[in-house]
A and B are shown apart, each in its own frame.
Chain A
């Protein structure tokens, strides 16, 4: 009886405390909103937003709804996260491997990079790139083209725009190539397990990936043109690039800072993963006659990835969450567009902040659920 009470009592007390706190908050919120004459609800989302956004992936202007503004912000956030993840992974893997190089100078340079960028606050790095480094770039009229088609100016990076015809056919050809590669890989795996024969899977895959899209170009009627940005004079002092694709400096500064910062953490994950494999594994693999390539592919990497991937995913999540610092340099991401401008206009603090937080929360939970599933699928299956 005594132990039962000791188990139940703390639970009741905590529950009561939590309920009381929440009740207190809702009660106050009710009163405060009554005083300001606001009705709680998400109806405002369909109202006209009447503000513009500098940079948007989808069509948007002031006549669209707040819900659309939310979508614009979300897409911009995801864009930064996506580019940042790709760049930081590439840098991270290179630096992580360089940290294990037998070459002393390379090892030290990689260590210097990691120690340097890891110990400076990300916000400071974003400010540095945006306000100091990118401001030193030339004006549009003075910019020298890089390879004749890229223009890096203080107004951003201008690159050629792709103009596709029959993009869908090209897209289908890539899907067809991916599907057939998967089939061939499975077949090759079965063949090896049953008969011990090995197919040159890599060359077949590469061939398919080149040939199928090429066929789409030759007979599918797909065509690709480039629209190169051209400098145009608006007035005596103002110049502007027409055509092409303009990448705003905010996006460049943000992705650069996020990628360089996160790459240091990914590099440490990669290093820890490779170091975590005992030397015996490598020697054992060599002693059964595997080539160095096979050792890396069949023995080291599968085991190292098991150690590398969970913390790396964590870093990807951090990068996505850190992309909210965009608000500091006015890149129109979810926080700036929705929790900033939309909140100022509507004054609906509770609804908007909760939507924003819920969005980030669901991205995080979705990715960690995906990772847990992946972790389970690659975990060592004890027999």
Chain B
């Protein structure tokens, strides 16, 4: 056994370094664990300052001792390479571990251990944690807005139908497959519009009329983002083609349109649609608030979609255009069959990002007085019977939005992989 130098761990005394190092590291983590979960400070005999920093110091020494290059133990090498390359990295590693340990108990107690979900009044919430009773009682309002309770099945059924119809594309026969694009671009939006108009709005076939002012909550978020998504895509595509067109008038109009919408914030666009746009319409002409909002958001997002698609068009090599032209294809044939399929494939991530932005922008419709989920939260928060639960509401909405947006970004990532073609 050679001399042990604690400043410079080496391979000769591997086990000594390893055991001392792991022991110190373990003590450090254990100390933080105890103080965090059981409020026990095992180093309370030390001065305050030292007792506070002790785990960090012990941890650094411990990690320093196990930092042995080419130790021959596979897991140790892997560990050193990933979290323990230098003293600086060791400090960061320790800090992150400590923060995680420290933050688990308060989060757990707020979310679950000290939270209440029983009962149906404010008084049922006695714990110091979250009051999920509030969410439970208001859930219908958060999902359906002011839509009458006994009619909510209409919203459910139309959403189920819409989702089912969206999956039609997966099982057609070979013959019908070529009509798929037509189906998704033209027929599906029309079906969706008819469904929502007659089923959710009502007013025909013996269904009671529900005005759009009563729509709200999460279902309104879905309706607005769904329609904007459907409308902004074709508009954006035409704008992109217009911007790349050889005809100067078309090009300048497209450029002006795109730059205008991209330069202003959505909130002013919504202001425009609610206070300025009615001035531009004939006096006796009435356009529903929701329709105006959907048009405004669609035009706004179309400008962004256009820029994304333009990027794809520009990325295509000239040869594709030349080849299509040499086959005698005209402008539309060339774009529909050769250029756009390839360009759109290239810009899937960009388009997905724009759609994500669209979904995240929908809460802004509070400007015109439509209350989707965030708006409903703000309404519920001011209800005198349920004061003081703002936090629960926002956390609830944040979780829902996070799941939607994260799922969308994952899905687009999968699409990107699926349609990736080697050139």
Which residues of A line the B interface, CB within 8 A?
7, 10-11, 14-15, 18, 24-25, 28-29, 31-33, 35, 101-106, 109, 115-116, 118-125, 127-128, 131-133, 135-136, 321-322, 324-325, 327-328, 335, 339, 343, 349-350, 353-354, 356-357, 360-361, 364-365
Residues of B within 8 A of A14 (CB): 249-250, 253
Binding site for A on B (CB under 8 A): 81-83, 85, 89, 92-93, 96-97, 246-250, 253, 259-260, 262-269, 271-272, 275-276, 278-283, 356, 359-364, 366-367, 374, 377-378, 381, 390-391, 394-395, 397-398, 401-402, 405-406, 409
- Are A360 and B406 in touch, CB under 8 angstroms? no
Task: Give 13 CB contacts A-B under 8 Å.
Answer: A10-B247, A33-B279, A102-B89, A103-B85, A103-B93, A121-B374, A128-B398, A131-B381, A132-B390, A132-B391, A353-B272, A357-B268, A364-B263
| Bound-complex Cα distance A327 to B248 (A) | 39
**Are A103 and B366 in contact, with the CB atoms below 8 A?**
no
Complex Cα distance A374/B162, Å? 48
Which of A10, A31, A356 is B268 in contact with, Cβ under 8 Å?
A356
Interface majority SS (helix, strand, loop, mixed), chain A:
helix
Q: Shortest distance in angstroms between A282's beta carbon and chain B's nearest beta carbon?
A: 17
Known: A103-B89, A124-B401, A357-B272. A32 touches B267 (CB 8 A): no
In angstroms, Cα B364 to Cα A365, docked, is 24
Chain B residues closer than 8 Å to A125, beta-carbon distance? 398
Contact (A104, B283) CB under 8 Å given A14-B249, A109-B96, A343-B275: no
- Of the listed residues B93, B246, B280, the one surrounded by the most CB atoms of chain A closer than 10 A to its CB is B280
Residues of the B chain whose Cβ atoms lie less than 8 Å from the Cβ of A350: 276, 279
Contact call B279/A123, Cβ cutoff below 8 A: no
Does B366 contact A364, Cβ atoms closer than 8 Å? no
Shortest distance between the CB of B297 and any CB in chain A (Å): 14
Nearest-CB residue, chain A, relative to B359: A121
Measured in the bound complex, the distance between the Cα atoms of B266 and A324 in whole Å is 9
Which 9 A-B residue pairings sit nearest by Cβ, starting from the closest? A119-B405, A364-B263, A321-B265, A11-B249, A361-B263, A25-B280, A121-B360, A324-B265, A132-B391
Bound CA–CA A383/B82 (angstroms): 43
Do B401 and A361 touch (CB < 8 A)?
no
Q: Contact: B96 with A335, CB < 8 Å?
A: no
A119 touches B391 (CB 8 A): no
Smallest distance from the beta carbon of B272 to chain A beta carbons, Å? Answer: 5
Residues of chain A contacted by B262 (CB below 8 angstroms): 364
CA A133 – CA B395 in complex, angstroms? 11
Instruction: Tell me the minimal C-beta distance from B252 to chain A in angstroms.
Output: 10
Q: Which of B253, B265, B391, B401 contacts A360 (CB 8 A)?
A: B265
State whether A105 and B96 are in contact (beta carbons under 8 Å apart), knowing that A119-B405, A120-B402, A353-B271 are contacts in the complex. yes
Chain A neighbourhood of B264, CB < 8 A: 321, 357, 360-361, 364
Q: In the complex, A133 Cα to B275 Cα: how many Å? A: 33
Contacting pair B394 A132 (CB below 8 A): yes
- Please determine whether A353 and B398 come into contact, CB atoms closer than 8 angstroms: no
The answer to whether A365 touches B92 (Cβ under 8 A) is no
Asked whether, in the complex, the Cβ of B374 is within 8 Å of the Cβ of A102, the reply is: no
B265 touching A361, Cβ below 8 Å: no
Known contacts A102-B81, A105-B83, A353-B271; is A120 also within 8 Å of B250 by CB? no
Contacts of A115 in B (CB 8 A): 406
Q: Are B97 and A135 in contact (CB under 8 A)?
A: no
Instruction: Pick the contact of A29: B82, B280, B374, B381 (CB < 8 A).
Output: B280
A321: B residues at CB distance < 8 A: 264-266
Complexed CA–CA distance, A343 and B250 (Å): 35
Task: Please state if A10 and B250 are interface contacts (CB–CB under 8 Å).
Answer: yes
- Determine if A365 and B250 form an interchain contact, defined as CB atoms under 8 angstroms apart: no
Q: Are B263 and A360 in contact (CB under 8 A)?
A: yes
Contact A128 B394 (CB under 8 A): yes
Give CA–CA (A10, B241) in the complex, Å: 14
Residue of B nearest to A36 (CB): B279
Shortest beta-carbon distance, B7 to chain A, in Å? Answer: 23
B263 and A335: CB pair below 8 A?
no
Q: With a CB–CB cut-off of 8 A, which chain A residues contact B81?
A: 102
For B283, list chain A residues within 8 Å (CB): 28, 31-32, 35
B274 to chain A, nearest CB (A): 9
- A contact residues around B97 at 8 Å (CB): 105
